[in-house]
Structure formats: C-alpha cells, structure tokens
Structure 1
Amino acid sequence: MKKVLITGANKGIGYETARQLLQAGFYVYLGSRSLENGMHAAEELKREGLTAIEAVQLDVTNDASIKDARRLIGEKTDVLDILINNAGITGVQLHEDGTFVPQTAIDTAVEVYKEVYETNVYGVIRVTQAFLDLLKKSAEPRIVMVSSSQGSITLHSDPYYKYYNHKGSVYLSSKSALNMYTVNLAYELRDTNFKINAVSPGFTKTDLNHNRGTGTVQDAAKRLVKYALIGNDGVTGKFFCEETNPETGEIPW
C-alpha cells in the first residue's frame, strides 16, 4: 500500500484530499498542527470506512514538531510515496464590518510577512527536506506544492487577468516564493523519478478565505490528487491551475 503525508489535513482541502486518496487505496498520514483536531478528523474518515489513516501532530513552523513527525512516520514505514504540502495561511485580517484589511506593499508590517512566510515558505522547505529521504525510497515519488494562481507574477502583471485588482502583497508574494522553491527542487531532482509540481486548487470556499471562495473542496482536492498521481511520463517543475486554464491546466509563473 502506497503512503502519503498531507500537511494541514484536519480540515478543508487537505481533509478532502485525504478522503480521496484513501478512496484510491493509499495509506494516509494526516498532518495536523493540533493532534486532537487531527485525531478527530481521522476518526470521522474511519467512520466512513476509510481506515488506512493515522493522525500525526505536525506544526510546519516548529522544527521539533517536524522532527518528531519524521521519527514517528519513519518508525512505521521505510518509504513515503507522496508528500502534499497543503498547510498554509493568508495572514488576512477582517475589519469589524467583515471587509478585508488590505495587505498593501506600502503599509503592511514586516511582522505580517514573517508570519505568513513561516508557514507558506519556510514550513514547506522544512517538511520537504525532513521527508526527502523517505520519498527517495519510493519508485514513484511525488510532491505537490499547494500554491495559488495569485502567486503568478505573469498573471498579476496583466490588467486583463480576472483577479488583477485582487492584490495582497503578503500572501501573493509567499506563493511566488513557494513557486520558485518548487522550480529549484524539481530541477535538482530532474534526473530521478520525482515529479514535483505547484498546483493551485482554485478559489475554494474554506476557512482560509473566510468561506468566500466559489469552488468546492471536492473539486479542489481532485486537482491536487491528479498531480499526486501523475505518471512517470508526466511533467515536473510546472505550475497548474485548472480554474484559470481549463484546457491544459498549466499557467505561467
């Protein structure tokens, strides 16, 4: 049975991705910053008959937590087939009237950038590096970086892009940085069976965006699963958003 680790999987897109991969016959390590929340999510899936799952306490901003998760998973398996770096935050705050506080390049404090980058960039790097040895033992290792089309510098430079006016210096730049890490990692592992791609699940209704998204977690998870299961003849080091490009999925960096 192939094994997958999903970060931030106790709710939202990560949770639904876990469900779909369980249905596809995978053993899922459900990463959750709160072990209690992770165990609750795992029990919910087990009640659906999806029993090949285990909750793992994993805070991507905490080196000790990642080290403990790597030790625990390493005691249970010698091989990890898929890593889905799903955990992420926006850093967006709301005014009392429910409107967003803008993340402007002019006024937003550096502390906000640090908080978001800690999860969206440094957290991904920490987890990826920690589990790379287990992934290298898989015949078909896959890494999915959960990005956002909002991290595309090309699209956000185009006045005709539908989200052109939906700027946000902190979150957007964190995903751009994640994308560049993806490109470099894929390049360094280009002569192996690794397939490493950045995938935007689309503007999905979740807690991440205060439930203001338009897509469903089911459709979002399908997009992540598609690239998690990409064949050895598939691409690596690419950026996909099927919401933006329904035909081929690929979008510019």
Structure 2
Amino acid sequence: MGINRLSIGIQSFQQQKLEALGRIHNGDEAVRAAGMARQAGFDNFNLDLMHGLPDQSLDDALSDLRQAIALKPTHLSWYQLTLEPNTVFWNQPPALPEDDTLWDIQEAGQALLAEHGYAQYEVSAYAQPGRPARHNLNYWSFGDFIGIGAGAHGKLSHPDGRIVRTWKTRAPKDYLNPAKSFQAGAKELTNEELPFEFLMNALRLTEGVEAKLYAERTGLALSSLDEGRREAEQSGLMQVEPSRLAATDRGQLFLNDLLQKFLS
C-alpha cells in the first residue's frame, strides 16, 4: 500500500484572509508546500482553495485562483465559505461579500479554471483531463469507505442490506489506551433517510449518476424517488432523463432547494 496523491489545504494565499480564517500558515509556506510535494515525486496533487471569504473582492478571489493555477496542480477543490453551527463565524458572523459579488466570483472563477484546462465535475471540484479524484467519485456516488485515524468517518454496506455510517474517536490519546474502543459511534441509515443521503451526494456531480445505481447502492426501488423527482423536474432543478439522476445547472446552483424535495 502506498500514497500516490496529496491534498494541500491552502484556502488562500493572502495573509489577511488566512488570519480571518484562523489559519496559522502564510502564502509563502503554501507555495513551498506545493513545491515540496512536487520535489518529492508527487505529480498528482490537489489544492484546497476557498472563496467568498470575509471582505473578499472579485480581484482578491481571482488572484488566489491564479496563484493556485500557477502551481500546476492536477486537481483544485474551490469551495465557497459557508457558516457552520458551533463555529466562531456562526456565533460572530464576519462581513461576507454581497450575493452579486459571490455570483461574479463564481462565474469568473469557473471561466478562468476552464481556460486553464480544469473541467468541473462536481459542485466544488475541478480537474485536469483524466485526473478527477477517485475518492471523490466514490464518495459522491454513495460508495463505501473506511475512516482511518482520529475523528475519521466511514460508510459501510453490509451483506444483509444494512448501510452504516461510523466515526472514530477524536482524541489521539484514546488510541494509546488498549481498553478504549477506536470507534466512537455508528448509525444505521433508515429506508426513510436513504433517498436524501444518496442524492445529497450524487447530485453534486455535474453529470449525476446512472439511475440504476440508486437501487444498487440503497436497495430501494427507483420508484421511491418518483414524487420528489417529478417536482424537481417541473421546477427545472433536475434533468428529465429516465436513465440518469442529475441536477440541471440551475439545480446545482440551488442544490439545497433541490434536496428539500427528497426529505421525508
């Protein structure tokens, strides 16, 4: 077993933005990390970058993106900042860009990435030809994966049809205690939860997935999606394509609205 791909969490190259995010590295260190990865023999690496940061302008966002592209990664994960519960930003919201600015950043960024050969294959993922992340494709198509390490999450499909999400203990010290279980918890997904769980992942892919994969991965009949699918198609959020489950461009922009149609 070996490692043939690295992912480097840069987020931004601008000191002010990094400090606002609570990051302890600087832009020069980010550039150096990417260079070290290449020198170590990794020609296949991803850079994580964020946009929609506090007080970020269109020029700021495109400057970050150009610097990332200049490092010639094979893959770029370009995420918009979202405010999550139980975080500092949630409790003390920063001044984020206006919606019009966010829209301009998204459109200009996608065009810049396409110009440099990065094809979008998922809401926030862009890759050079032949370089989409196999982990991402497995994850977004509701495949199984094993979480290894402190706080890692996993998903396992059992022969009896059960689908279970697992998570490991977060504290590294627990791994030194032979009496402590590494697995902190597990949750079996119910038939009511499965449609949303599957589509929450699959509809992030720009091409969606083959419709038959739904039954293969969940054990449920495709017809269990009929009502939500019909509403989504009528709203212009899902493609009218019997053999595929895929969002329209509008559906990807309003993914939360689309997914609401499949909540039990």
* TM-score computed with the length of structure 2 as normaliser: 0.34
Q: Which has the higher strand share?
A: 2
Q: TM-score, normalised by structure 1?
A: 0.35
Higher relative contact order (CA 8 A, sep 6+): 1
**Higher Rg:** 2
